[in-house]
Amino acid sequence: MTGIDYSQKIPNNVDLASDKRLQRALEAWQPNYLEWWNSVGPTDFNTKDVYLRTAISAEKDGWAHFGYVKMPDYRWGIFLEPRDEKRTVGFGDHFGEPAWQQVPGEYRNWLRRLIVTQADTEPASVEQQRLLGHTAPSLYDLRNLFQVNVEEGRHLWAMVYLLHTYFGKDGRDEAEELLQRRSGNPDHPRILGTFNEPCTDWLSFFCFTMFTDRDGKFQLLALAESGFDPLARTCRFMLTEEAHHMFVGQTGVARVIERTCQVMQAHPDKDVRDYGAIPLDVIQKYINFWASSSTDLYGAEISSNSANFFRSGLKGRAYEERYDDHLALEGSYAFENLVDGQLVREEVPLRNAMNEVLRDEYVKDNEKGIAYWNRVCERMGNPFRFRLPQRRFHRKIGVYAGGHFDLDGNALSQAEWERRQGDWLPTAKDRAFVQGLMQPVTTPGKSAGWIAPPAKGVNDQPADFLYVRA
């Protein structure tokens, strides 16, 4: 062996130092990972010291260790929540059986597919966001961007750990391919559509971390219930980090709103654009776009895959313990199906509707974020109120992809959709305007004119803290 001190290089709680098979796999993979980071990550900032949080143990507070670090030297660790020896499968046909510590052969392919699909989103978002560092509205935001990026990188590691440890050669091949697909590449795109959407301005970034990372949260919650214990434990640990990403999104959009409200207050009856702020209705359009695109990520409303994953104990519901019935064999789920252009109320067996059950939780959570933004308007005395588009709006996946709907979910003709979509989704002009505002601000404590400064520093640091230094 090469004599690498694994616990130093790769902080972990999986006894990497004595696992020869895993060492071998990761040694082969790690150089390719770094190459990936150096070619499609935030490469122009690799030599900067960034004030980052690193997870160094799975103990309480172990996940939040702050200090300056150059991103390529970030210690991408592998952490699983400590094992509960008595844990049992919490749902599906294997309910009550001891949780699996090894992959059941019967479910190997499904499980691998689930892990690969989740894993694919992690590097994808880093790729989508790779150029944003050049236009960060403040050092605080720049640092948050990089924090999100390195943590997505760590999540990739966590998933690759599972592939390497439990899925043999196929797992290693899949891990390799995770580094080969590229967001937005026409030849080998990332698996899920939203992760191929360009994310080139900061309003998009905030919306992405708000809505798309929130999908991540609910996928992780569902996988954290998995009967395959190592997956469940990995996901639970990832959830703490995911929460921070959504914080970045929710407060980011809130600060943009706050700034616009300030300008509107100071210059009533004027176009806020003239004062370098983003109109509230344009912000609403960005919300409409990212919320709808992220709503797609839950998949089809009626899905045999979701039924299979649930019955086999691989992917549960978010907060499964809150439900009384963990078999979900009896109930049904009613939803509006789109049949030949008409919305028709239909009941489907509950297990086949698990995607929709998870989407329900997601929509509820999004509503809370919207309410948070509306409180900003309220506080600023602005009558504008934001809204979440109805889930049928602007869908590319599932039954509603077969029609057109307005923000309230009312069906529209193709022609009407064509005519009105510019009222609801960012137009080329909107995008050009937002893009035009994107100028970097690197003076400590200063923020760009289109966004209010943060309420509070990272790790209680002062407002003019040097989060990123040369």
Partner 1 sequence: MAVQHAPAPPVQFQTSPSRYRHFQFQVQGDLARLSMNVQQFEPQREGYELKLNSYDIGVDVELADCLQRLRFEHPKVRTVVVTGSLERVFCAGANIVMLRSSTHGFKVNFCRYTNETRLAIEDASDKSGLRFLAALNGTASGGGYELALACDKILLVDDRNSAVSFPEVPLLGVLPGTGGLTRLTDKRKIRRDRCDVFSTLAEGIKGKRAVEWNLVDAIAPLSRWDEAVAEMARSMAAGTKARGEQGIELESIEPEGSDQVASAYGPLERTRWRHLDLSISRSARCAELTLRLPERWETTQAQALSAQSGWWILRALRELDLCLCNLRFNEPNLALVLLRVQGNPKAWRDTDNLLAASTHWLVRETRFFAARVLKRLENTAKSFYAIADQHAAFVGTGLELALACDRIYAKDDEQCAVHFGVTPMNAGVLPMSNGISRLQTRFLGTPEQASQVLAQTEDFDTARASELGLATFAPDAIDWEDELRLAIEERTSFSPDGMTGMEQNLRFAGPETMETKIFGRLSAWQNWIFQRPNAVGERGALTTYGTPLRPSFDTQRT
Interaction of residue 194 with partner 1, rule CB under 8 A: no
To the nearest whole angstrom, how small is the minimum distance from the Cβ of residue 109 to partner 1? 6
Task: Using the rule CB under 8 A, give the single segment among 143-151, 187-195, 259-267, 422-430 that binds partner 1.
Answer: 187-195
Number of residues that bind partner 1 (CB under 8 A): 25
When the beta carbons of 343 and 438 are compared against partner 1, the nearer one is 343
Interaction of residue 315 with partner 1, rule CB under 8 A: no
- CA 200 – CA 23 distance, rounded (Å): 37
Q: Which two tokens stand for residue 191?
A: 């698996």
- Residue 108: burial class (beta carbons within 10 Å; 0-12, 13-18, 19+): middle
To the nearest whole angstrom, how small is the minimum distance from the Cβ of residue 398 to partner 1? 11
- Residue 14: burial class (beta carbons within 10 Å; 0-12, 13-18, 19+): buried
Q: Which of residues 238-267 bind partner 1 (CB under 8 A)?
A: none
Is the CA virtual torsion 32, 36, 38, 42 positive or negative? negative
Task: Using the rule CB under 8 A, give the single segment among 79-87, 143-151, 270-278, 349-357 that binds partner 1.
Answer: 349-357
- CA 162 – CA 168 distance, rounded (Å): 10
Interaction of residue 329 with partner 1, rule CB under 8 A: yes
Q: Could you tell me which residues are beta bridge partners of residue 332?
A: 349
Q: Tell me which of 62, 168, 184, 189 binds partner 1, using CB under 8 A.
A: 189
Task: Using the rule CB under 8 A, give the single segment among 97-105, 133-141, 316-324, 345-353 that binds partner 1.
Answer: 345-353
Site of tokens 């909107």: 430
Q: Tell me which of 351, 391, 392, 431 binds partner 1, using CB under 8 A.
A: 351
To the nearest whole angstrom, how small is the minimum distance from the Cβ of residue 455 to partner 1? 42
To the nearest whole angstrom, how small is the minimum distance from the Cβ of residue 460 to partner 1? 44
Q: Looking at this protein, which amino acid is placed at residue 73?
A: D
C-beta of residue 208 within 8 angstroms of C-beta of residue 249: yes
To the nearest whole angstrom, how small is the minimum distance from the Cβ of residue 167 to partner 1? 13
To the nearest whole angstrom, how small is the minimum distance from the Cβ of residue 326 to partner 1? 13
To the nearest whole angstrom, how small is the minimum distance from the Cβ of residue 312 to partner 1? 7
Distances (CA, A) of 138 to 133, 255, 258, 316, 410: 10, 12, 16, 40, 41
Interaction of residue 131 with partner 1, rule CB under 8 A: no
Interaction of residue 464 with partner 1, rule CB under 8 A: no
Interaction of residue 311 with partner 1, rule CB under 8 A: yes
Q: Where is 411: in which H helix or E strand?
A: strand 411-412
When the beta carbons of 246 and 328 are compared against partner 1, the nearer one is 328
Distances (CA, A) of 386 to 254, 382, 409, 425: 11, 11, 16, 14
Q: Which of residues 95-124 bind partner 1 (CB under 8 A)?
A: 109, 113
When the beta carbons of 311 and 431 are compared against partner 1, the nearer one is 311
When the beta carbons of 67 and 193 are compared against partner 1, the nearer one is 193
Distances (CA, A) of 187 to 278, 426, 456: 35, 26, 43
Q: Which of residues 157-186 bind partner 1 (CB under 8 A)?
A: 177, 180-181, 186
Interaction of residue 187 with partner 1, rule CB under 8 A: yes
C-beta of residue 110 within 8 angstroms of C-beta of residue 424: no
Contacts of 218 (CB under 8 A, 6+ apart): 298, 318, 358, 361, 362, 365
Q: Tell me which of 101, 304, 439, 442 binds partner 1, using CB under 8 A.
A: 304
Interaction of residue 53 with partner 1, rule CB under 8 A: no
Q: Which of residues 395-434 bind partner 1 (CB under 8 A)?
A: 402
Alpha helices in 44-167 (DSSP H): 108-128, 139-166
Q: How far apart are the first and last CA of the chain?
A: 36
Q: What phi and psi values does residue 195 have, to the nearest 5 degrees?
A: -85, 5
Q: Which two tokens stand for residue 381?
A: 């005395």
Interaction of residue 307 with partner 1, rule CB under 8 A: yes
Q: Tell me which of 312, 355, 366, 382 binds partner 1, using CB under 8 A.
A: 312
Name the nearest CA neighbour of 208 among 159, 148, 261, 134: 148
CA 310 to chain centre: 22
Q: Tell me which of 4, 17, 40, 191 binds partner 1, using CB under 8 A.
A: 191
Burial profile 245-262: b = 16 or more Cβ within 10 angstroms, e = fewer: bbebbbbbbbbbbbbbbb
Q: Tell me which of 352, 366, 382, 447 binds partner 1, using CB under 8 A.
A: 352
Q: Tell me which of 19, 49, 93, 365 binds partner 1, using CB under 8 A.
A: 93
Radius of gyration of the chain (CA): 23
Contact residues: partner 1, CB under 8 A: 93, 109, 113, 177, 180-181, 186-189, 191, 304, 307, 310-312, 328-329, 339-340, 349-352, 402
